Amino acid sequence: MADGAGVGSALWLAAAVATAAAATYAWRGLGVLLAGRIRVDGAAFAWIGYVAYGLLAGLIARMILLPAGPLATTALGVRLAATGVALAVFFAAGRHLVAGVVAGVVAFTGLVALGVG
């Protein structure tokens, strides 16, 4: 982990990347194995889709409210304000993804550069 410096740390990070790659390819490989043999519009697939969706929502909220790494040096108010700007522009522009992302990132960068954060 982060406290193990040098080769051990690099090895651990490489193991994390390899683990994530294997966990991702597992779905693609299993998909090939099951292709044409199962129905994908059943309740089990709907449920696992919602689990992925809820997990991502939780990850996003945690990254904004309780960030790890350098975002932790910024003020919570700035992160929340920029998130609010992103959502407001997203809906005002008719659920426009790019407009929301650009507005949120620009608002965040601007507030941090002005020293609000």
Partner 1 sequence: MIFASFVGFGSLCRSVELPMWLGLASTATGWALPGQVAMVELVGTGASLAAIAVAVALSGSRLLPMTVTLVPQLIAPDSPRWRAYVVAHWIAVTSWLITMSERHRLDRGARTPFFLGFALTLWLWSLAGTVVGFTVAGAVPPAMMLGLVFLNPIYFLMVLAADATDRGRVVALGSGAVLGPMFHLVTADWGLMLTGFAAGSAGFLASRAHRNAHRLSGTAADG
Q: Which 36-75 positions form the footprint of partner 1 (CB under 8 A)?
A: 36, 38, 40, 43, 45-66, 68-71, 73-74
Residue from 7, 8, 21, 81 in contact with partner 1 (CB under 8 A): 21
Smallest CA-to-CA distance from 101 within 110, 89, 117, 114 is with: 89
Give the integer Cα–Cα distance in Å for 113 and 62.
23
State the nearest-atom distance from the C-beta of 77 to partner 1, in Å. 14
State the nearest-atom distance from the C-beta of 28 to partner 1, in Å. 4
Which residues within the stretch 78-107 sit at the binding site for partner 1 (CB under 8 A)?
79, 82-83, 86-87, 90, 95, 97-98, 100-101, 104-106
**Contact at 8 Å (CB) between 63 and 71?**
yes
- Number of residues forming the site for partner 1 (CB under 8 A): 77
State the nearest-atom distance from the C-beta of 27 to partner 1, in Å. 4
Produce one character per residue of 48-76: b if its CB has 16 or more CB atoms within 10 Å, e if not.
eeeeeeeeeeeeeeeeeeeeeeeeeebee
